[in-house]
Amino acid sequence: MSRTQRVAVLGASGYTGSELVRLLTCHSAAHLCVLTGERHAGRAMGDVLPHLSQIPLPALERLQTVDWDKLDVVFCALPHGMTQSIITTLPNTLKVIDLSADLRLADVDVYAQWYGQVHKAPALQKEVVYGLSELARPAIRAARVVACPGCYPTSVQLALVPLLSAGLIATDGIIIDSKSGVSGAGRAVQESSLFCEIVDGLHAYGIAGHRHLPEIEQGLSRAAERPVVVTFTPHLVPMSRGIFSTLYVRLTGRATAADVRTALAESYAGEPFVRILPEGRVPHTRHVRGSNFCLLSVFADRVPGQAILCAVLDNLMKGAAGQAVQNFNLMTAQPERMGLEQQPLFP
């Protein structure tokens, strides 16, 4: 089972896809056989993403030319909607690790409501495992199809799921104020992502309506075993990578911020990628840039009975490609850190 896996990255010419390529070329149990990119089919990866020019890589091809029988695992970094379209046509011996939002919502009606289109693979959705590595390890190990969580939902759930499970925080009144780097919007060519529209400024977007909301609520509701409705405001920051989620929660009973910190420390004891900072320490996104770490910290608020948490990760790593490789390691019985030992790059 732990032999080298023949691997494809579908959608390799975007930021998430190319980050997967960066990781998998250094991964000793993965053999990167296929890269797809519809717009750039026929071109060398080094033409499309010159920072990868120094590694020998297969050329980009079209989805329709892929020989699926020569693969073991497929990473899907396709535009939203495409995984649902193709997944049912793939041999069911293939393991699939999807990085889009296509398979994250267990309830296909909720999917339809938030994405404005009918789910195209409702039967398959039932076997999908939601791949938040630390919180679903046994299921991921056994899964054939894993949906990797979104970047914001990863940061929020790693911080709050253990607290809701333990009943340490109230299920109402949760406020999530998140800040993201621009690569979270992908490599799509749109005016709002132009350098001059982003640099030296900040703004909120998708207020009370971002598509990561149902995913966050799905995870928190499962943990709380009751419906959780949250307030969530994402913001766009003039930086290329990084998620910083500031979380405002109400403590239950006599719980304190110190209790919260202890509970998180116990939940994640021994985890290779999740770290709880000592009291008083604030994480920066630049402390995790290029790495698979998620940093959590807890502060007592001046408002009695309230705590403030910070959750920080690199949206392309623990928020996307890094977590996908972590899931790959689980699904193929490799050591969980394999290929993910990069230390953060600073400055």
Q: Which is nearer to a copy of itself, 262 or 306 (CB)?
A: 306
Q: Output the smallest distance, CB 118 to a copy of itself, in A.
A: 23
Intra-chain end-to-end CA distance of the chain, in Å: 39
The whole-angstrom separation of Cα 281 and Cα 302 is 17
Give the list of residues 6+ apart from residue 115 with CB closer than 8 angstroms, or none: 80, 81, 101, 211
Q: Which of residues 151-180 bind a copy of itself (CB under 8 A)?
A: 172-173, 175, 177, 179
Which listed range, 29-37, 95-103, 286-294, 323-331, lies at the site for a copy of itself (CB under 8 A)? 286-294
- Note whether 199 binds a copy of itself by CB under 8 A: yes
Which listed range, 79-87, 118-126, 228-236, 324-332, lies at the site for a copy of itself (CB under 8 A)? 228-236
Residues in a beta bridge with 310: 246, 297
Amino acid identity, residue 327?
N
- Note whether 271 binds a copy of itself by CB under 8 A: no
Tell me the torsion sign for CA atoms 92, 96, 98, 103. positive
H/E stretch holding 8 reads strand 5-10
- Note whether 118 binds a copy of itself by CB under 8 A: no
Q: Which is nearer to a copy of itself, 145 or 220 (CB)?
A: 220
- Note whether 187 binds a copy of itself by CB under 8 A: yes
Nearest to 130, CA basis, from 141, 146, 143:
146
Which listed range, 93-101, 136-144, 203-211, 327-335, lies at the site for a copy of itself (CB under 8 A)? 203-211
User: Is 151 assigned a catalytic role?
Assistant: yes
Q: Output the smallest distance, CB 129 to a copy of itself, in A.
A: 27
Among 45, 237, 325, 338, binds a copy of itself (CB under 8 A): 237
Q: Which of these is catalytic: 76, 151, 294, 310?
A: 151
Q: Which is nearer to a copy of itself, 2 or 231 (CB)?
A: 231
Q: Which is nearer to a copy of itself, 103 or 274 (CB)?
A: 274
The whole-angstrom separation of Cα 107 and Cα 227 is 14
Question: Torsion angle of alpha carbons 285, 291, 292, 295, nearest 10°?
Answer: -30
Among 225, 282, 335, 337, binds a copy of itself (CB under 8 A): 282
Tell me the Ramachandran region of residue 153: left when phi exceeds 0, alpha when psi lies from -120 to 50, beta otherwise.
Answer: alpha
What's the angle, vertex CA 154, arms to CA 153 and CA 155, rounded to 5? 90
Q: Which is nearer to a copy of itself, 147 or 276 (CB)?
A: 276
Nearest to 135, CA basis, from 112, 114, 165:
165
Q: Which of residues 21-60 bind a copy of itself (CB under 8 A)?
A: 22, 25-26, 49-55
Q: Which is nearer to a copy of itself, 122 or 173 (CB)?
A: 173
Are the C-beta atoms of residues 96 and 72 closer than 8 Å to each other?
no
Active site residue ranges: 151
